[in-house]
Amino acid sequence: MITGSIVALVTPMHDDGSLDWAALERLLDMHISAGTAAIGVTGTTGESATLTVPEHCAVIRHCVEYVAGRLPVIAGTGANSTREAIELTTAAANAGADACLLVVPYYNRPTQAGIYAHFMAIADAVEIPQILYNVPARCAADLANDTAVALSRHPNIVGIKDATGNMERGRELIERVGDDFAVYSGDDPTARELMLAGGRGNVSVTANVVPKLMAELCDAAMAGDQAGAADIDARMAGLTAALFIEPNPIPVKWALARMGLIETGIRLPLLPLDAKLRAVVDDALAGVAL
């Protein structure tokens, strides 16, 4: 089971929007050195919505080959088409990914029975560990705890990224699933609380910028060190807030560009961070000595 800090990695791009493979490798090296537990690629933060299918598969394959087993690679392969999700998940499995992250189907607004059937179809079709991803703020559909518990019984479905930020729901889910099913936070502001309640890690946007601190937070919280986890969390709080002043991944890509790690490239319909907000990110970076 993968536990700890799982970075929701950005997909670096040149200013013209083309993929920047050299910058991607720099980011992977940074996370390997900083104690990140796993690399999450081609998710929301990785701009999966605007990657072509060939690009999507190429990013997964490049990360797997470059990391070469030094860290697990979790590939985002969800879609609002079950057939497309199976296609992407199959490609990730063939590329050697360690697990896949599958978002609740968006825009279609399926029922709970439809969500269940969607995830079961993927789990039946592809032999790879699969992590569900519930983010109702983006999807307009919400994976209910009852449905998640039922899905957790499938041997290929091994965890869930809970990005609801709802601690009551998160605690209930942790209590209801078995020890071999991981509940991860997908919400940086509430991640510490969920891990102290038994969550197995955090799929983190903030980890892009401060991978070592996020790894330390996850270790402390999963060890039950409330005071230590609270101290680290407080050090990152201003940065975490700044990284969501515009829709993700706009601020985090701007922050990484300011750090000299990537160019400012981002794909329409997203634009680089509004000029009026850039000082907020700069101040947050200074607050964590970056």
pLDDT digits (tens, 9 = 90+) for 43-58: 999 999 999 999 999 9
In the annotated binding site, the residues are: 45, 203
Looking at domain 4-225, its CATH superfamily turns out to be Aldolase class I (3.20.20.70)
- Distance between CA atoms of 52 and 286, rounded to whole angstroms? 36
- Distance between CA atoms of 149 and 133, rounded to whole angstroms? 13
**Could you report the per-residue pLDDT of 28-38, keeping only the tens digit for each?**
999 999 999 99
Which residue out of 133, 184, 253, 276 is catalytically annotated? Answer: 133
Domain spans of the chain?
Answer: 4-225
Q: Residue 189 CB: number of other CB atoms within 10 A?
A: 15
- Distance between CA atoms of 158 and 178, rounded to whole angstroms? 10
Answer yes or no: 116 catalytic: no
Confidence at 239, pLDDT banded by 50, 70, 90: very high
Which residue out of 106, 107, 116, 161 is catalytically annotated? Answer: 161
In the annotated binding site for pyruvate, the residues are: 45, 203
**Could you report the per-residue pLDDT of 150-175, keeping only the tens digit for each?**
999 999 999 999 999 999 999 999 99
Is the per-residue pLDDT at 290 higher than 80?
Answer: no
Confidence at 235, pLDDT banded by 50, 70, 90: very high
pTM score of the predicted model: 0.97
For residue 236, the model assigns a pLDDT of: 96
Answer yes or no: 212 catalytic: no
- How large is the average pLDDT for residues 221-239? 97
- Distance between CA atoms of 58 and 43, rounded to whole angstroms? 14
Q: What percent of the chain has pLDDT over 70?
A: 100
